Structure 1
Amino acid sequence: LSEQWFVKMKPLAEPAINAVKEGKVRFIPKTWEKVYYDWMENIRDWCISRQLWWGHRIPIWYCQDCGHMNAFVEPPEACEKCGSNDLLQDPDVLDTWFSSALWPFSTLGWPEKTPDLEYYYPTDLLVTGFDIIFFWVARMIMMGLKFMGDVPFYDVYIHALVRDEEGKKMSKSFGNVIDPLDMIDKYGADALRFTLASLAVQGRDIKLSESRIESSKNFANKIWNALRFILMNIKGFDPSAFSEESLVLDLADRWILSRTQKVIKEVTDFLNGYYVGESAKTLYEFIWGEFCDWYVEISKATLYDSTEDSIRKDGVKYILWKVSSIILRLLHPYMPFITEELWQHLPCVQESIVISPWPEVDEKFINDVAEEKMKYIMDTVRVIRNLRAEMEIKPGEKVKVVVKPHDAEYSELVKEYEKYIIRLASLSEFQIDPTYERPKGCAVGVMDKAEIFMPLGDLIDIEKEVARLKLRLQEVMDEISRVEAKLSNTDFIEKAPQHVVEKERAKLQEFQEIKGRIERHLEQLA
């Protein structure tokens, strides 16, 4: 046995336990508080001496004459008890975690009351992993309360572990390691950063795959192309020359402004609550699914219309500029490089996006009526697009559509904004007829306020299409019978590897979905 130095922990642990119970320190997710309490309430005295070459030397000097132990900050010249100069410092060093526990204030000049210490202690947030909650987090809290009289931080965010796409721990021996430097070279730093952030859901490990990173790269490309289109069309445009009150706005403008305000609030609230993944998902769906796919496409109808007056075009340009500037700022924490690059090309903005203010909600732009109306326009377009896809009509081929409204207000709405529907659904003709009766060979889609008909006679040879679909239906039914027979075989289920069985079950589900689609197509053509 050898003599070691210990710290009595109970007196240090009790204030640290109370700090969390009283809400002075908050764990996110909250479930990690239990791990903290389990350690702290069952704490034992801590052996802090280590027999290592490197570390903070234990500040004890042994008197070789009287045996007294001298504790000093600076090396003493003589023994404080007998005055002897024959002193020998303890050869041990402090445990690494002891030194680390002092980090929040020792790095700021403590024990001197420096300006940095006054300003930066305590800090707001510590981000760390669950495996060092006791080794580091708890000890920083204890030391901070002991030496500074206050907690070192207010929030402790416990981040997830990054695993492979099957949820297995990454390991060189497993060959499932994703090298971040390789991913950055291949897809860009923004794509990797956005992927990790978007998968960061509180209390759940990240299942990372290269395909997810590639998807984020596609998102970055979508943003780049949308902003390139916008910048081309607002070249020479000066937003500062316009007051928002003087703009001539239509339904789509009011809708996107309203949705933007709600997204600002949602993203900000998520980030304030450390819901990083949910915030990223909100941005992804809004930028791609609403701004790019809907508003930017709608704006083309105005910008490219030679008969449209300049006042109306200026209104669209202003909205494109305003929403773009908000989107880039909201997205900047996730994709700092692409957002800064695009920001540099926007007119009337700060020198750098880093120093620009975070967007704030402007209540005057929130318009629930515009959102409700736009929802019905978008639903109408979606129904038409689904019909086109189901009937395998080529994207560039224009079709005729007849809307049979069940509601007078809806009828007026689609009549007023039929230009949106014609452009977005790629129509050759758009009719509104409350008395329309479905003819033979006409596809139909249903929504709550209308039926939408698409006559197919001029688009396809209905008899040939029916024959083709019946043949395909028989092929699919044969495949379903084959897979069902395999899955009903007890030997196959018991002896085949689990992933093989799951693959067959997935095949069965896929064939059943195809069968359902073909049957719907045949019904449409009847």
Structure 2
Amino acid sequence: MAENTPAAGAADMPKTYDPATAEPQLIDEWIDAGCYQRSKGVGDCTVVIPPPNVTGVLHMGHAMDDSIQDTIIRYNRMRGRSTRWIVGTDHAGIATQTKVDKKLKSEGISRLEIGREKFIDACWDWRREYGGTIIKQIRRMGCSVDFSDERFTMDPEYAKAVRKVFCDWYHDGLIYRGKRIVNWCPSCTTAISDDEAEYKDEKGHLWHLRYPLTEPVNGQDYIVVATTRPETMLGDTGVAVSPSDPEKAAFVGKTVMLPIVNREIPIFSDYHVDKDFGSGFVKVTPAHDPNDYAMGQAHDLPQINIFDEHAVVVDGYDEFSGMNRDECRKAVVDWFDEHGLLDHVDELDHSVMHCYRCDSALEPWLSEQWFVAVDKLKGPALDVVTSGKIKFHPARWTDTYTTWMENLKDWCISRQLWWGHRIPVFYCEDCGWEDACMDDVHECPHCHGHHVHQDENVLDTWFSSQLWTFATQGWPDHPEQMEGHHPTKALVTARDIIALWVARMIMSSLYFTKEIPFQDVVIYATILAKDGSRMSKSKGNGVNPMDLIAKYGADAMRYNMLTLITNNQDVKFDANIDRKTKELIDSPRTEQARGFVTKIWNASRFVLMNMDGYTPGPAKAATPEDAWMLSRLAKMVAASTERLEAYELGDYARDLQSFFWGEVCDWYIELCKGRLLDGEGAERLQVQRNLVYVLDASLRMLHPVMPFVTESVWDAMPASELDANGQGGYDEHVGRFLMMAAWPEPDAFAPFVNDEAESTFDIARRLVADVRSARARYKLSPKTELAVVVSAGADAVAKLTSQAEFVKSVGRVSELAVAEGAEKPAASVTLVEPDFEAFVVMGDLVDFAAEGKKLEKDLAKAEKELAGVERTLANEGFLAKATPEVIASKRDRAAELTATVERLRAQLADLA
């Protein structure tokens, strides 16, 4: 805050606030002053940013996540707590390798030609050239991250931590190598975890194929199997039926001769089979389906892998060898048809797994991979959540976590890539020695041979990112750096990585640090497109947060993000995107948020431009409106503090706007104008002190979510009583910045709480608002004075009587009569409040008969349009053919018309 001089910088406040100029300038000032670096205090608030991909750019999920985190950090910094906010990026194995591959191909180079070492060099070059984009964008958002302490999952210190975790788990028997079914991407040529696979509904077929029996059963020469993947029948090693299907019991124990390959395979029963699916006979291909793999294990079936790593049929299958999956499918179906073994084909919509990176259909593929055995890890990780040591916000996500953890299977951690943390297992080709080692091995420690090589695979990206809370803070070499900062305070993340990341962080942290990684897990809303669909580049419906910042400013974007937070996790973002250019047209809600920014600036500027003669001093309730305002301020300080402590960020943001715009600006500042502009001496000085006090505390509360405009106003503020009393204060070593000022503590404001003053003033305020709304409804001049009669109970009568002069003056009421059981005068309109009825006398100012006819006409028009819209929405044909945007628009219009009809009916009833 500025020195104790009246409105030190108010004269320099521009008439219009320009975020495009102010925001970048403030970022530089904050960073140059060291405001972003870790702070000391009582209690700790350390937060780690979920590391975005080094290939990434800011998207709406990041914008939501980072807005929440910065609000938490700024609030805790102002509370005087030790704060540390760690930023960094993930090496993103598949994504980065794909990008570098494409870059090399565009230059006519293949990674296979240049080899692993040079390809990894190219990945590092790419990271240095393009990897900092998202960090720059996070900075532009105003995130108060310590950018001088940026981390990367491939940094040497971090790589050492990853290697130690692998080696320790390997030697403790928690990491093993085995041949199992994995989700394989034929395009990326690597395994993909179950949690990373994306399911897509596709139109397909269910082929019914005849498999000849080796001997007839009940007069049948063949059975009919139903499959969605006829190409994999080349690898069938059995046929299964359901034990609950008595019609198939006679076939169990018999065999069929598999067509094309002439392989005799058994028929058996297994509970994996749904007797109502297809024909009830299910072909079993243990090397190409997870359920089939389980049945193969249980019934000791051979595992035959018919595809190579590119999902091309391997040698040994005659004309089918060398075909890709699609070619083989067509060829197999044609062969069955030509040989009279294609029974029939049904249409079938089914869900198919796709690679989350390249969108190729995944292939369940039997291959040798590395796994983490989770049985010893998941119990402790489950206990710390069920016991409440780690809390989810909202709490319902606890069930998602516990359900997944209870059903957790061993985790495939190997990926067939070059970019990433290479698995530190070494093999001796001479004597067969194998071990996981912290240092590279060039000579076998057993036989001293030199034919030693390292495992070719790299680790799953989630394996390295699971260490993020402690490997970024000095572990394992400098655990002292973690003291006071681990466990971290809060992890803010999306619900779709609760299993991928959150759970694994808990397991690894408990194992290696003996501590939970964080105390709270804050799950934020999923940001959907305007029509309710997922945002994506391919659809062209994604919103670029940087476009929002360029158009509306970072404060407006951040504030809008927080107001979207509710207990409903999916929220629609109301941006309009040009379908051709995919550029932002507008975002009405962000426009409204910018309006709030403007309101803060204009209201503050008005107050600060009228501070001549001001000197700091205590705020006092000199008038009823002062008492009401100071009590409301005290309650808002308490509510905001409570909301932020509980991570109720949406309520915090919405309540603050309602308070500052609706109560501080529209009422209190307006009511203070007379004393501020025309008052003299002690009266004017006191209202100045009250206004500065209210504005000061309001700016502090608003700062965590709207740091730029609040800081800009603060720069022009005179010292308030908060500072004079040492309640507000600021870090004198840093300087004048609001972000370093103290949070308004509820206890310091508690003496101002005055429920009686609030109640008395509020009833008068509501009556004035009702009189104003009556003028607006009937298009009367705001200066028109009206007589008002109020019927109320004894308590309300007493309060309104005591505020009669205020109501008459502010509400432009010529006569005010307040009594219990007062009757409605002629030619008046009724306004109903919970504790009183007000009758506003219109007399000859309104032609009630003409007004009634006009309202009836408007009502008939609205009812007719509403009926038409409702008929359209009830039409199944319309709902089937119309786009989601059109349907949503119709529903919004129906809601608007319903409200209009209700309002018009109420007005007609009042006139009657």
Shorter-chain TM-score: which interval? 0.7 to 0.9
2:851 to 460, 469, 473: 469
Aligned counterparts of 2:496 and 2:610: Cα–Cα separation in 1: 52
Q: Which runs of 5+ in 1 are unaligned?
A: none
| In 2, Cα distance between equivalents of 1:68 and 1:292 | 77
Cα distance per residue 1:106-158 (max 9 Å; x no partner)? 22222113432233222111111111111111111111111111111111111
The AA in structure 2 aligned to 1:8 is: A
Distance 1:391 1:221, change over 3 A: same
Q: Structure 1 residues 384, 73: CA separation in 2 closer, same or farther (over 3 Å shift)? A: same
> Does structure 2 conserve the Cα–Cα contact (< 8 Å) formed by 1:62 and 1:89?
yes
2:842 paired residue number: 456
CA distance in 1, matches of 2:769, 2:673: 19
- Compute the displacement of 1:94 (Å): 1.5
Aligned CA distance change for structure 1 residues 152 and 409 (closer, same or farther; 3 Å): closer
| 1:382 alignment partner in structure 2 | 769
State whether residues 873 and 890 of structure 2, in contact with CA within 8 Å, keep that contact through their aligned partners in structure 1: no
* 1:249 match: secondary structure: coil
CA pair 509-15 structure 1, distance change in 2 beyond 3 A = closer
Taking structure 2 as the reference length, the TM-score comes to 0.52
Q: 2:753 aligns with which of 360, 366, 378?
A: 366
Counterpart of 1:39 in structure 2 is 404
Change (3 A) 1:219 1:517: same
Aligned pairs (5 A) from 1:253-272:
253-272=626-645
The residue type paired with residue 328 of structure 1 is L
CA distance in 2: counterparts of 1:243 and 1:469, whole angstroms = 52
CA distance 1:35–1:470, shift in 2 (3 Å) = closer
Q: For 1:479, which of 854, 861, 882 is the aligned residue?
A: 861
For residue 512 of structure 1, what is the aligned residue in structure 2? Answer: 901
C-alpha distance in structure 1 between counterparts of 2:870 and 2:431, whole Å: 88
Q: Percent identity?
A: 37
CA distance in 1, matches of 2:662, 2:870: 42
Distance in 2 of aligned mates of 1:69 and 1:491: 68
Instruction: State the Cα deviation string for residues 199-255 of structure 1 (Å, max 9, x = none).
Output: 11234222221111111111111111111111112244121xx245xx462211111
Structure 1 residues 311-322: aligned runs within 5 Å: 311-322=682-693
Q: Does 1:338 align with 2:709?
A: yes
Return the alpha-carbon distance in structure 1 between the equivalents of residues 708 and 807 of structure 2: 36
Structure 2, unpaired ranges of 5+:
1-365, 575-586, 724-729, 731-735
> What is the CA–CA distance in structure 2 between the aligned matches of 1:32 and 1:301, rounded to whole Å?
53
| Closer/same/farther in 2, CA of residues 405 and 76 from structure 1, 3 Å limit | same
Go from structure 1 to structure 2 and tell me whether the alpha carbon gap of 1:324 and 1:495 turns closer, same or farther (over 3 Å shift). Answer: same
Please give the alpha-carbon distance, in whole angstroms, between the structure 2 residues aligned to 1:110 and 1:342: 42
Q: Distance in 2 between the 1:482 and 1:156 partners?
A: 50
1:24 corresponding residue in structure 2: 389
Residues 80-99 of structure 1 mapped to structure 2, 5 A cutoff: 80-99=445-464
Q: Tell me the residue number matched to 1:64.
A: 429
What SS is found at the alignment partner of 1:124?
A: strand
Q: CA deviation at 1:42?
A: 1.9
Residue of structure 2 aligned with 1:357, choices 742, 745, 753: 742
Residue 304 to residue 386, structure 1, CA distance change in 2 (3 Å):
same
SS for the counterpart of 2:717 is coil
| Structure 1 residues 412 and 174: alpha-carbon distance in aligned structure 2, compared to 1, 3 A threshold | same
- Aligned match of 2:472: 107
Aligned to 1:194: 559
Q: What are the within-5 Å matches in structure 2 for residues 364-443 of structure 1?
A: 364-395=751-782, 397-404=783-790, 413-414=799-800, 416-427=802-813, 429-432=814-817, 440-443=826-829
Q: Which of structures 1 and 2 has the bigger CA Rg? A: 2
Tell me the distance in 1 between the aligned counterparts of 2:376 and 2:599.
Answer: 57
Q: 1:123 to 1:380 in 2, by over 3 A?
A: same
SS in 1 for 2:438: coil
Give the number of the structure with larger relative contact order, counting CA–CA contacts within 8 Å between residues 6 or more apart.
Answer: 2
What residue is the counterpart of 1:231 in the other structure? 608
**Cα distance in 2, alignment partners of residues 126 and 23 from structure 1:** 15
Residue of structure 2 in register with 1:274 after alignment: 647
Kindly indicate which of the two structures has a greater share of residues assigned to helix.
Answer: 1
Give the letter aligned to residue 363 of structure 1: A
Q: Is the Cα–Cα contact under 8 Å of residues 57 and 94 in structure 1 kept in the other structure?
A: yes
CA contact (8 A) 2:372 2:413 kept: yes
SS in 2 for 1:154: strand
Partner amino acid, structure 2, of 1:291:
V
Distance of aligned partners of 1:226 and 1:478 in 2 relative to their CA distance in 1, 3 Å threshold: closer
1:49 to partner: Cα distance: 2.1
| Alpha-carbon RMSD | 3.0
1:169 partner SS: coil
Contact 1:66–1:82 at 8 Å: present in 2 too? Answer: yes
Amino acid at match of 2:898: Q
Q: For 2:862 and 2:494, locate their aligned partners in 1 and report how far apart those are by CA, in whole Å.
A: 48
Pair 1:67–1:326, CA change in 2 (3 A): same
Taking a change above 3 Å as real, the CA distance of residues 473 and 370 of structure 1, as seen in their structure-2 partners, is: closer
Instruction: Give the total of aligned pairs.
Output: 511
Distance (Å, rounded) in 2 between the aligned partners of 1:76 and 1:219 = 63
CA contact (8 A) 2:414 2:458 kept: yes
Structure 1 residues 481 and 162: CA distance shift in structure 2, 3 A = closer
Query: Could you say if the C-alpha distance between residues 91 and 418 of structure 1 is closer, same or farther in structure 2, counting changes exceeding 3 Å?
Result: same
C-alpha distance in structure 1 between counterparts of 2:618 and 2:804, whole Å: 29
- Structure 1 pair 21/408, CA: closer, same or farther in 2 (3 Å)? closer
Q: Counterpart amino acid of 1:382?
A: A
SS at match of 1:156: strand
The structure 1 residue matched to 2:439, chosen from 74, 81, 99, is 74
Per-residue deviation, 1:504 = 7.6
One-letter amino acid of the counterpart of residue 61, structure 1 = F
